[in-house]
Amino acid sequence: MPDDYIPKVNDYVIWDKGRHNNDEGWVYFVDKEYITIEVGVRPILEKPCMNGKRRLHHNIHTLLLCFPDQWKELKYIKSRESKYN
């Protein structure tokens, strides 16, 4: 990947951090200071909140922080229109 790659939300990337150490996932958030890469999603156990209402978010997202000096380690794979595709 060229050094001038600028990650965008909904890009799927592989982060090559050296021998036998790769992570991959969807770019979830982008800022000039860092991006987050979603590497896992799992459901929250369905328990009502203290007031008896259900939670707004039903999944726990595992995100990695990746800073601009590390973007050269990202390999762009593909993009999607939205996280709902």
Tokens 């799927």 -> residue: 12
Query: Is 24 or 81 the better-scoring residue by pLDDT?
Result: 24
In the predicted structure, residue 4 carries a pLDDT above the cut 90: no
Distance CA 78, CA 80 (A): 7
- What's the mean pLDDT in 56-85? 89
Distance CA 12, CA 43 (A): 21
Kindly list the domain boundaries of the chain, sorted by start residue: 11-79
Structure tokens at 9: 């939300």
The tens digit of pLDDT for each residue in 16-43 reads 988 878 999 999 999 999 999 999 999 8
Structure tokens at 27: 């770019």
Q: How is 15-49 classified by DSSP, letter by letter?
A: EE-STT-EEEEEEEEE-SS-EEEEEEEEEPP----
The tens digit of pLDDT for each residue in 45-62 reads 766 666 666 666 678 899
